């Protein structure tokens, strides 16, 4: 089986982002840009990954290494061009016996299918190099691919180096290519910076390879958005728009119903089963899964949540990380749930905060119920059993355990454990003073007259 290594060039300063955060760590659909590229690389059956970064963005190493521990990072100390960036990676790939796929850390919309097709064409045609090409509507700024009469690539010209005639070439270079490792290493050794920018252009390797008799081909990508690069916040927003549309279409095609898809925001890892209905203006943050038959009503915000079958969430509900909602459960309007397990058939219908809590099945949590989980120093847990009824406007002061089938009277402030099958009322005793209101009015009116 042919081996392939992936080199990702991610050393750009990202100054146009105007942000203290490295460009490739800005989020797209709920995860860093670079992680999208790494995930795609995982899908092509590679056995080695090298990421080239700049010295000022070493901060990306730890968060990325936590998820991809086998990645090798190399530092491009000076920005001397894309050719130099790949030369920096040469010690890591110079002795590699296989193929090299070159990707870019700021081109996150490329798909596994396109890369696999590029690699397949490269191998089937026994090429030395295969370039991913495209025909943009506006070729301004893109390098042009110059082909011979047999459609083999003879060279790639950077936009700043193109002649007026070459500017008319429609086929442009995406920057992504696959090459035999030995051929690539040989061509990198020939690079120089004798050009208008005094940089080492990676594109020069193609003319060197052609002159050495190696077969260079190109494959045109079907969807131009796949090679969309991100350099500033405007392009990041445009990439988000493209990614969201992809995610929505994928969800709809899998059997999810969206009443107004354009208003639903999804993360790249959102898992929604078929027969789920999503109403307008719903936000899915990272790590959310929704099981079949559930309905997410309008204006809900979910993040780090698992929702069971046939549940109804919202409208205007906020479900925060480490929350698990059971089957046939109802989380109503203006309810916030955080780090909680809510059992099957349980209802929390209105205006409640449930945090650091476990609630059993078939329980009813009345309007205005608050789990008081923080004492100013530490968080504590609230445990509510099965078939429990909590009356409206109750405050449950953790740590607290309320037993199965218990009833808590409305307006109670509960700070002691409640045993099974008990009724607890913990509020000030109601006191009525007959005629007191009339006497007060008379007294106040007399004061006004004086």
Summarised one tens digit per residue, pLDDT across range 3-21 is 899 999 999 888 999 998 8
Reported as a pLDDT band with limits 50, 70 and 90, residue 1 is low
Q: Kindly give the residue spans of alpha helices, DSSP state H, lying in 153-230.
A: 181-188, 204-211
pLDDT at 448 over 80: no
| Residue 46 vs residue 450, higher pLDDT | 46
What integer is the mean pLDDT of 259-275?
A: 98
Q: Which DSSP symbol is given to 33?
A: H
Hey, which bits of 24-113 come out as E strands?
A: 27-28, 31-32, 48-53, 72-75, 99-104
| Residue 176 vs residue 429, higher pLDDT | 176
Residue of 412, 419, 374 lying closest to 395 (CA atoms): 412
pLDDT at 137 over 90: no
pLDDT score at 239: 98
pLDDT score at 450: 61
- Collect all residues with Cβ–Cβ distance below 8 Å to 440 and sequence separation of at least 6: none
Residue of 348, 345, 321 lying closest to 332 (CA atoms): 348
pLDDT at 46 over 90: no
> β-strand 129-134 against 216-220: which pairing, if any?
parallel
Of 26, 159, 350, 386, the active-site residue reads 350
pLDDT score at 316: 99
Burial class (CB in 10 A: 0-12, 13-18, 19+), 299: middle
| Active site (annotated) includes residue 350 | yes
Relative orientation angle of helices 181-188 and 204-211, to the nearest 10 degrees: 110
What integer is the mean pLDDT of 233-250?
A: 98
Please report, to the nearest 10 degrees, the dihedral formed by the alpha carbons of residues 150, 155, 157, 163 taken in order: -60
State how far the Cα of 169 lies from the Cα of 218, in Å rounded to an integer: 14
pLDDT score at 160: 85
Exposure letters 309-334 (e unless 16+ CB within 10 A, then b): bbbbbbbebbbbeebbbbbbbbbbbb
Question: Within its chain, how far is the Cα of 92 from the centroid?
Answer: 30
Q: Tell me the C-alpha to C-alpha distance, in Å, between residue 410 and each of 55, 304, 390, 399, 424.
A: 61, 31, 7, 20, 10
What own/partner pairs with CB < 8 Å and gap ≥ 24 does 54-57 have?
Answer: 54/11, 54/12, 54/13, 54/79, 56/13, 57/10, 57/11, 57/14, 57/22, 57/24, 57/25
What integer is the mean pLDDT of 309-320?
A: 99
Can you count the helices (H) and strands (E) in the chain? 9, 35
Q: Which DSSP symbol is given to 208?
A: H
Residue of 332, 105, 331, 109 lying closest to 221 (CA atoms): 109
- For the segment 325-368, what is each residue's pLDDT rounded down to a tens digit? 999 999 999 999 999 999 999 999 999 999 999 999 999 999 99
State how far the Cα of 426 lies from the Cα of 25, in Å rounded to an integer: 51
3-state helix, strand, coil in the chain (%, to 5): 25, 30, 45
What percent of the chain has a predicted confidence (pLDDT) above 90? 82
Q: Which DSSP symbol is given to 327?
A: T
pLDDT score at 253: 98
State how far the Cα of 82 lies from the Cα of 85, in Å rounded to an integer: 5
- Residue 131, phi then psi, degrees to nearest 5: -105, 140
How long, in residues, is the chain? Answer: 450
pLDDT score at 449: 66
- Domains of the chain (ranges, CATH numbers): 4-227 (3.90.550.10), 233-424 (2.160.10.10)
């Amino acid at each position: 089986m042919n081996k392939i290594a992936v080199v990702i060039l991610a050393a750009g300063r990202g100054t146009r982002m105007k942000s203290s955060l490295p460009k490739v760590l800005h989020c797209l659909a709920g995860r860093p840009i670079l992680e999208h590229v790494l995930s795609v690389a995982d899908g092509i059956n590679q056995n080695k990954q090298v990421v080239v970064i700049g010295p000022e963005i070493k901060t990306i190493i730890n968060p990325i290494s936590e998820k991809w521990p086998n990645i090798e990072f190399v530092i491009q100390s000076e920005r001397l061009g894309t050719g130099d960036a790949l030369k920096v990676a040469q010690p890591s790939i110079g002795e590699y016996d296989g193929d090299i796929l070159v990707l870019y850390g700021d081109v996150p919309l490329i798909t596994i299918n396109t890369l696999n097709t590029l690699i397949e064409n490269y191998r089937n045609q026994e090429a030395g190099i295969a370039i991913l090409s495209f025909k943009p509507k506006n070729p301004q700024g893109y390098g042009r691919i110059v082909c011979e009469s047999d459609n083999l690539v003879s060279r790639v010209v950077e936009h700043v180096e193109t002649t007026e005639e070459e500017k008319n070439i429609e086929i442009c270079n995406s920057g992504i290519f696959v090459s035999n490792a030995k051929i690539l290493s040989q061509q990198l050794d020939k690079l120089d910076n004798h050009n208008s920018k005094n940089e080492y252009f990676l594109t020069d390797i193609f003319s060197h390879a052609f002159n050495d008799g190696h077969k260079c081909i190109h494959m045109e990508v079907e969807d131009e958005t796949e090679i969309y690069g991100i350099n500033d916040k405007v392009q990041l927003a445009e990439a988000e728009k493209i990614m969201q549309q992809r995610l929505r279409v994928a969800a709809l095609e899998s059997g999810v119903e969206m009443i107004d898809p354009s208003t639903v925001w999804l993360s790249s890892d959102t898992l929604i089963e078929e027969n789920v209905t999503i109403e307008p203006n719903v936000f899915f943050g990272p790590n959310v899964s929704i099981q079949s038959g559930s309905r997410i009503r309008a204006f809900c915000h979910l993040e780090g949540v698992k929702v069971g079958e046939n549940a109804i969430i919202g409208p205007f509900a906020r479900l925060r990380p480490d929350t698990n909602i059971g089957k046939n459960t109802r989380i109503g309007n203006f309810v916030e749930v955080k780090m909680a397990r809510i059992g099957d058939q349980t209802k929390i219908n209105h205006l409640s905060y449930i945090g650091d809590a476990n609630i059993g099945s078939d329980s009813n949590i009345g309007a205005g119920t608050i789990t008081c989980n923080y004492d100013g120093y530490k968080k504590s847990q609230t445990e509510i059993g099965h078939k429990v009824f909590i009356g409206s406007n109750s405050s449950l002061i953790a740590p607290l355990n309320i037993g199965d089938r218990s009833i808590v009277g409305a307006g109670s402030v509960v700070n002691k454990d409640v045993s099974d099958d008990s009724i607890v009322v913990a509020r000030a005793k109601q006191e009525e003073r007959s005629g007191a209101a009339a006497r007060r009015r008379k007294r106040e009116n007399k004061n006004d007259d004086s």
